[in-house]
Structure 1
Amino acid sequence: MRIRSSKYVAVPLLALALFAAGCGGGDEAAPEGARAEIGSTNDINPHDVGDLRDGGNLRLAISAYPANWNALSNDGNDFEIAGVLRPMMPRAFKTDAAADLTINTDYFTDIKLTSTEPQQVTYTINPKAVWSDGTPITWEDIQSQANALSGVDKTFLIALNNGFDRVEKVERGVDDKQAVITFKKHYADWRGQFAGNSFLFPKSVTSTPEAFNKSLVDAVGPTAGPFIVQSTDRGQGRIVLGHNPNWWGAKPKLDTITYSVLDSSALIPALTNNEIDAVGIGTRDELKTAKSTNGVAIRRAPGNGWSHLTFNGAPGSILADPKLRVAISKAIDRQGIVTAIQNGLVEDPKPLNNHVYLQGQKGYKDNSLGFDPAAAAKELDELGWKLNGDVREKDGKKLEIRDVMYQDDTWIQMAQIMQQNLAAVGVKLNIDTKPGKGFFTEVIQPGDFDAGQWSWIGDPFPLGSLFQIYGYNPNDLQGNYGRIGSPELNDLIEQAVSELDPEKAIELANQIDRKVFEEGFSLPLMQSAGNVAVRANLANYGAAGLASLDYTKIGFLK
């Protein structure tokens, strides 16, 4: 599953901070070990819990108060909301830095693929597992969520199906603590249905469209983790998590986790003033300041967020022609963009050249069309877009496109480089910045852009988001905000998502990626650098990469 962010994220898995202002100086060396690959390492200052003192408050920052605590909903499909929920919500698997999976035994004692014809998965729930209101977690919670995300009832405003559109039924197993999921069509990423960026919610949230869409708008409902919401203050922009009295697992070392709403420009000052304990580093100037702050360590593991430029190809839009989108894509110097933004933050910065896999993930390969402004100009000529002064025209209409993004210096810097690239081939790019509030619901989802910049946040289950983003169904938008697609691409996605052989699925996924480039769907720009400034005495927390965190083991050294 992929979740979105209007901001340029530095460390999305931790919900710490945003990628903030511009380029900075050019002579700062990248942190030792800074690589543009994921899956090889994480950097969390690992310690045995015996080394940690009891108590303490972990202070983190978010950019806005949650619009909807239901992360399965279109309004709640946000990386920061997911970050706040992680200490509180069930997930089926834990992951390490290489994205290898182990069952999360706090919630499930066993998870098995028990049949392939038909595909059948059996979840055995930990008998001790209960929601924070004391209600047992049962097979009915799984059944209710499967029904809500199936897409059958369009009044559930879901962020994605996550494979539940392929589920035939969910049945009670040997008792209420066992669920048997039977698929009507194979689903390759079945392990990610309640893992990665996907949580299990109680049936009280997923049982009806009204509850799903609205019951968590003002406050979180029942949760089931080591932490629980202790207090919230929307006006002050503060959320405090404390111990869950009904938690059955290991007792957390921390007393509380506090999330404060801060503007991106306030993050580094808050760190240096000892007001927060961790912040993502997005610029060389931020890195220099953090490194010079007493008691702060820089931790580094490549991030799983990535920025992109997505085109609007809806019928009637100026970029409705895929050949035009491809020509424009070839005129954008993505290496120049990543060099400007990440030089000094990672060693040998490289653009991301795949829509499905991150650099370092198994399956990653370069399927891009390349930077070729001469070819771009030739193709624009052939499409009838002829230069008239500085800007091309066709049938009396100028080739002028509006690039929409969150008001952030780094997004603007990337857009300015693209603006210069496109001007060189006679395409005018206008930069149109928007506030964070309503960015998706009022601008991107309705398609009020010619091109748009935001971030996708990946997890170890990339196939689960193929239909979400790249599949096209005019009656089921999900994450395809550019309204671009084809029957051929849909067919390829269907094949990949149905393939239970991992090697064959990877091969199909790369065919999909190449087709996405050839459709002129979007241009991946760069992967987040993953530098994190953290209190030096904070253990088992920092730059996680693809690994999941154990919130019972996070704490401060004695």
Structure 2
Amino acid sequence: MRIRSVGIRLAVPITAIGLLLSGCSANSTEAGDVTITGTNQINPHDPSELRDGGNLRLTISALPQTFNPLHVDSDADASEVVSWTMPSPFTSNARGELSVDTNFFTSVEMTNTNPQVITYTINPEAVWSDGTPITWEDLASQAHAQSGKDPEYLVAATSGFDRVEKVERGADDRQAVVTFNKHYAEWQGLFGYLLPKAATASPQAFNDFYRNGMPLSAGPFTVTNIDRAQNRITLGRNPKWWGDTPKLDTVTYSVLDIPARIAAVQNNELDSTDISGIAEVTTARNTPGIQVLRTPLPRFSHFTFNGAPGSILEDPALRRAIAKGIDRQAIASATQLGVVSDPKPLNNHIYMQGQEGYQDNAGVVAYNPEQAAKELDDLGWKLNGTVREKDGRKLVIRDVMYQQDLWVQTAKIAQQNLAAIGVELKIETYPGQGLFTDIIDPGNFDIAQFTWIGSVLPLGALPQIYAYNPEVPLSNKGKIGSPELNALIEDTISELDPKKAIELANQADRMIFEEMHSLPITQSPGTVAQRNEVANWGAFGLASPDYTKVGFLK
């Protein structure tokens, strides 16, 4: 996992999502003993037990629209591919504890608090794939690009860079000194993907340099081929890599629909894939040569509401009433029973169940169909036959999502719930390619179902997703927010005391529920079907992969 506080949209969901860790045995699929301080399941082996070489076959939902992971057009597929190839200051272990990635930086530390100053000392061996050194200028250029000062840079999030006053050369070209004009709580999340200055020097470079490929990178692997006819991306060893030699020769990502993935692992066409739901878990467990690994992940599924002016759900009181009519416990039970031992809905937008800071803030929208019906009546939405109407407009809501059985199952439960209170929910499914750019980003929905992926640093999602600036909406897909919430988010991400930051984050979360920006559904059980010979890969939970140690048993 990249150590970023940015939430990433995921068009091709796993059922559910979370910041938990598992201490279960490799073939366990239930979550009764999952804790935040547990271990993850990656079939760990010493590199000496692995053979040199081999091709790891993985899958994505669509070819990335850009390979710039900081661009607004990026998504989880792009991040998955790029993570093998780019520098990052920190890594995380299975408990979510951070340490400096010494492949790229010899030290990263806060060297002053007033003003806040972070000093990055770059590994003197670190170079881009064309042989040029990684220097402070790369950090300075990226900080400017992500600052939000120039709207021509189409960034997914400013992520603390909007608070950077300056980036200066330190002791030499291999040291960057970053000075803030406001405190930033999650400073470890900065430069979660460090890009070369060639990719950030201008808006055109930022938007286009990585649009169709990756001409520069600096990880143990590089993108060596993009076959758009076969929908396949190949990564190979980086000949300029200065760290431990990777065990794998290549990694291949193929575009594959979710329903076909479990069969591809069974048929030895894939080596590892995320799975969801008891049917897929059972199929994997009953297939010789395949193991089921599970460690809950920092991601969650949700209903995002469209509250933009003129939309049918513009009124927050109407959004709250509809939310009270959706039985999220029924959804959790239907989609996760048998995969986890005690399925529960997620009741927090910021923290996952079991994570420090998690508390139930969803009381304002707790399932209560009788109360929901009364509130709809009070708002003037009166029953006319089976569907409510107001001022001649029927209460018909379009729910859009990726075409996948578990998303549709979730929507059908909500559809039945809402029909009982006179709300018609129309289910619309779309392929992964274009779901965001063509449907969700333009606001062509009333409710959208998709997944947010987070990290061990969750607060950065607050300004990216839940703050709202009509001029720069970032990832606030429903265009819902308030000046009061914006101010509280500002206070939260400025708080350097972790305990106080948690208190403020939960205050913000309660306000997010009151506005009914979005309704969390479930957090991910993090189940993976993987061939037995694959080592040091699988269900990572909070941990960062070590890409040099992934491989196949001898």
TM-score bucket (shorter structure): over 0.9
Quote how far apart the aligned CAs of 1:194 are: 2.1
CA distance in 2, matches of 1:3, 1:209: 21
Contact 2:300–2:524, Cα closer than 8 Å, also in 1: yes
Q: Which of 203, 207, 210 is residue 213 of structure 1 equivalent to?
A: 207
When residues 409 and 202 of structure 1 are mapped into structure 2, their CA distance, relative to the original with a 3 A threshold, is same
The equivalent residue for 2:252 is 258
Asked if 1:233 corresponds to 2:227, the answer is: yes
The answer to whether structure 1 residue 302 and structure 2 residue 296 are counterparts is yes
- Mapped to 2, the partners of 1:275 and 1:237 lie a distance apart of 15
Decide which moves more: 58-67 or 500-509: 58-67
Q: Which residue in the other structure is 1:116 paired with?
A: 113
| 1:207-235 deviation per Cα after TM superposition (whole angstroms, max 9, x unaligned) | 11111111211111211011112222111
1:12: how far off? 9.1
Q: Does 1:388 align with 2:384?
A: yes
- Contact 1:38-1:546 within 8 A present in 2 as well: no
Which stretch of the first structure deviates more once superposed, 457-466 or 386-395? 386-395
Compute the displacement of 1:30 (Å).
6.7
Are 2:130 and 1:133 equivalent residues in the alignment?
yes
**2:45 matches 1:40:** no
Aligned residues: 539
Amino acid in structure 2 at the alignment position of 1:384: G
Are 2:127 and 2:134, in contact at CA under 8 Å, matched by a contact in 1?
A: yes
Paired residue secondary structure (1:8): coil
Residue 25 of structure 1 is matched in structure 2 by none
The aligned counterpart of 2:82 is: 85
Residue 19 of structure 1 is matched in structure 2 by none
Indicate which of 236, 259, 267 corresponds to 1:242: 236
Distance of 2:172 and 2:15 partners within structure 1: 44
Quote the residue 2:160 is aligned against: 163
Structure 1 residues 234, 34: CA separation in 2 closer, same or farther (over 3 Å shift)? farther
Residue of 358, 361, 365 corresponding to 2:355 = 361
Shift of 1:105: 0.3
The question of whether the paired residues in 2 share the 8 Å contact of 1:35 and 1:302 is answered with no
Q: Name the CA shift for 1:472/1:231 in 2 (closer, same or farther; >3 Å).
A: same
Alpha-carbon separation, structure 2, partners of 1:189 and 1:415: 35
Determine whether 1:106 maps to 2:103: yes
- Is the counterpart of residue 552 in structure 1 residue 548 in structure 2? yes
8 Å CA contact 2:17–2:522 kept in 1: the answer is no
Whole-angstrom CA distance in 1 between matches of 2:172 and 2:16: 40
Corresponding residue for 2:538?
Answer: 542
CA contact (8 A) 1:127 1:177 kept: yes
Q: What amino acid maps onto 1:126 in structure 2? A: N
The C-alpha deviation readout for 1:176-210, integer Å capped at 9, x for no partner, is 10011111111101101123xxx111111111111
Q: 1:499 aligns with which of 495, 499, 504?
A: 495
Range with greater deviation from structure 2 (90-99 or 392-401): 392-401
The answer to whether residue 189 in structure 2 is matched with residue 192 in structure 1 is yes
Displacement, 1:317? 1.1
User: Quick one: distance in 2 between partners of 1:9 and 1:34?
Assistant: 19
Over aligned residues, Cα RMSD in angstroms? Answer: 1.6
Asked if 1:5 corresponds to 2:2, the answer is: no
User: Is 434-443 or 444-453 further displaced after alignment?
Assistant: 434-443
Residue 41 of structure 1 and its aligned partner are, at CA, apart by 2.5
What is the 5 A alignment of 1:379-458?
379-458=375-454
Q: Closer, same or farther in 2 for the Cα pair 1:333/1:400, shift >3 Å?
A: same
Query: For the residues of structure 1 that align with 2:358 and 2:134, how far apart are their CA atoms?
Result: 37
CA distance in structure 2 between the partners assigned to 1:273 and 1:409 by the alignment: 21
Q: Distance in 1 between matches of 2:224 and 2:209?
A: 18
| Matched AA of 1:84 | V
Structure 1 residue corresponding to 2:148, chosen from 133, 147, 151: 151
Distance 2:38 2:487 in 1: 33
Residue 87 of structure 1 aligns to a residue whose secondary structure is coil
**Deviation sequence 1:321-370 (CA, Å, 0-9, x none):** 11111111111100000111111111101111100011122111110021
Which residues of 2 match residues 469-484 of structure 1 at below 5 A? 469-484=465-480
Equivalent position SS for 1:74 = coil
Shift in CA distance, 401/32, structure 1 to aligned 2, threshold 3 Å = closer
Task: Provide closer, same or farther for how the CA distance between residues 34 and 540 of structure 1 changes in structure 2, counting only shifts above 3 A.
Answer: farther
> Where in structure 1 do 4 or more consecutive aligned residues deviate above 4 Å?
10-13, 32-39
CA contact (8 A) 2:402 2:429 kept: yes
Give the Cα–Cα distance (whole angstroms) in 2 for the partners of residues 398 and 86 of structure 1.
46
Q: Which runs of no fewer than 5 residues in structure 2 stay unpaired?
A: 1-5, 19-26
Q: How does 1:38-77 map to 2 (within 5 A)?
A: 38=36, 40-76=38-74
| CA–CA separation in structure 2 for the residues paired with 1:324 and 1:39 | 40
Distance (Å, rounded) in 1 between the aligned partners of 2:118 and 2:420 = 54
